A and B are shown apart, each in its own frame.
Chain A
Amino acid sequence: MLLADFGTTYCKLLDTHSVDAPRLMATNTIDRKTMKVDIATGHNGKRYAKQYVNELTALARGGLTLIRKKTFTLLDCGSRDIKYVTYNDGKIKDMGWNAECGASMGFTIELLEKYYNLDFSKMPIPKSAFSITCGVLGMSNIFDAVVNGENEVEAVAKFVKGIALNAYDFAKRPRELYLSGGLCGNPLFVGSLPCPVISLGRFVLLEGLQATLQSSDCL
């Protein structure tokens, strides 16, 4: 079976009959006419799938498969939105999905990386951060800082830290945070989160789809 997480910027694909690792492809390279999968999640998933699974459900099921704890908070930072689930003693306690105000964080970070030709693995975590509620609105902080003589790299680092703190607040400031999504691969972002972070990578939603496949829902 072909499972897919159709994100805004990247699409993640897993063939359950193959031993290969999941594939990652840019969403804008998908052939819209021929792409068909069996189970999908993500913003664009309904268009291509026989069965669609809600993104929060996929995230929660993926988290339950990978984390193996009864109490945890899992935050997914994607290109367009952030979402989290909190389990307490094995039961869903809280969840959130910030798709509009507070969104476009991952996408904005990637844009800045390319525009300023940055290497996030070599950028130190700044002491302070910009106060940011959304990726798009937060950009003006960078431009203002640069106009006022601040180094571009430092300004972007403060922006990224501001985004990390905002995401942490959104997840209700857990003592320990499991992180999924593309920003797991950004050391500046991960290091800016003010609590211990366990990165699970960008294929957690695919794990959730596999769990769905194994559950009675699909039998």
Chain B
Amino acid sequence: MVTQKKHRIGIVGVPPLSIIKHIASPDHEIFDLDEPQGRIDIETASPLLPRVYCGILRTVIANSLAIQPELIYIDTGSGKCDCAVHTATVLDDILPNCRILRTRNNDSTGFGIPLCKARMKLTDKMAAITATVQNPHPYLDNIAPCTPTAGFWGVPPRDFSLLEFFPDTTHIYGWTRCMENKTPDNLDLEMHYNPDIPTVFFAQSFCAKTALASHLASRHPYALYLDCDVTAGSSAKAKIQAFLELSEK
């Protein structure tokens, strides 16, 4: 039996729904290049991007070098970030056999945010949300919301171990919420938070969103601003642990 080789497609950010509908097929193997893929060493990106740069985009470069996709869809609009614009230029140069297609996701039809409000271990919830990027179909199951006792605002962190201390009743806010809703360029949704629950405002170090995270944390009555680079160090984890412990009523 002859098995047909699948086309390897990389995505960076949230591609427009029209593209996801097109590539979500058994003929394609999709790689979310924003996420660590196996044991690929992030330092392979160091000769190509400054080390003092967003850890997620350094991951994109390291993944792309190792996986060698045939095609990469990279969001270079305001649904992602300016750094992605320049990363796309670098990818163009270093991957001559790969087509780099720049997209701008201005989708405005909301798919809903049931996972962000669900009762679930936060690491599992975050993984489930990032997996929705590759799924063009609306939710079929009814996922009941829980009453929140804590909040996590921000992008999916590069290191999910950061999320281990949060209770299962943590609601997710910020760009992750936009991601699940498939409207990554929705600033109003991104800026929304719940002032009644202790919330960690997170951004990757060296990301422009550190400004928004820090600003919103200063407006929130019970907030912790936190930025982390490639991995979550012990002091970052201790801050979260202490903040949540001390915020318990």
Contacts and interface: CB of A to CB of B under 8 A. Distances in A.
B20 to A, nearest CB: 39
B241 A54 contact: yes
B235 A57 contact: no
B233 A91 contact: no
Given A91-B221, A92-B198, A97 B247 contact: no
Given A54-B241, A54-B245, A97 B222 contact: no
A91 B195 CA distance: 13
Nearest to B226: A96
Contact of A55 (B222, B238, B246, B247): B238
The binding surface of chain B is classed by DSSP as helix
Interface string A93-111: 1111111100000000000
Interface in B145-173: none
B243 interface: yes
A83 to B, nearest CB: 8
B113 interface: no
Interface in B218-249: 221-225, 233-235, 238-239, 241-243, 245-247
B242 A95 contact: yes
Contacts of A100: 233, 235
A60 interface: yes
Contacts of B223: 93-94
Contacts of B241: 54, 57
Interface in A31-63: 54-57, 60
Contact of A92 (B217, B225, B234, B246): B246
A81 B238 CA distance: 13
Nearest to B198: A92
- For the residues of A in contact with B, the DSSP-based class is strand
A131 interface: no
A1 to B, nearest CB: 21
Contacts of A92: 198, 222, 243, 246-247
A81 B239 CA distance: 13
A151 interface: no
Contact of B246 (A57, A96, A97, A98): A57
B224 A99 contact: no
Given A92-B198, A100-B233, A54 B238 contact: yes
Interface string B79-109: 0000000000000000000000000000000
Given A57-B245, A92-B246, A92-B247, A97 B239 contact: yes
27 contacts: A54-B238, A54-B241, A54-B242, A56-B239, A56-B242, A57-B242, A57-B245, A57-B246, A60-B246, A88-B221, A91-B222, A92-B198, A92-B222, A92-B246, A92-B247, A93-B222, A93-B223, A94-B217, A95-B224, A95-B239, A95-B243, A95-B246, A96-B239, A97-B235, A97-B238, A99-B235, A100-B233
Given A56-B243, A95-B242, 16 more contacts: A56-B238, A57-B241, A57-B246, A88-B221, A92-B246, A92-B247, A94-B223, A94-B225, A95-B239, A95-B246, A96-B239, A97-B235, A97-B238, A97-B239, A98-B235, A100-B235
